[in-house]
Amino acid sequence: MMIRILIALLLALAPVTAFANQCPTMMAAIDAAMPNASLSESDMAKVKQLRQQGEELHKAGDHAGSEAALGEAKKMLGI
């Protein structure tokens, strides 16, 4: 019985772990795209702000918030 509960718990947490791992991938994609981006200074500043915010939220454990901020940065970069 205890093993079934443990397996169910692990399966329930698996999507959370997979979701959390998207943040570093998104940050790396943003970092790779920034040097070649043709954005205005204000747009580039906004991308950098969103990138930083995404990293801070990721470190704080708010992966949904992190993905939202990083997704907006990616959208601005066209990736």
What pLDDT score was predicted for residue 3? 72
Q: Which residues of 19-58 are buried (b: 16+ CB within 10 A; e: fewer)?
A: eeeebeebbeebeebbeeeeeeeeeeeebeebbebbbebb
62: left (phi > 0), else alpha (psi -120 to 50), else beta?
Answer: beta
- Using CA atoms, how far apart are residues 73 and 23, in angstroms rounded to an integer? 12
Domains in the chain: boundaries: 20-77
Instruction: Print pLDDT tens along the chain (79 aa).
Output: 767 775 665 666 655 545 556 999 999 999 999 999 999 999 999 999 999 999 999 999 999 999 999 999 999 999 9
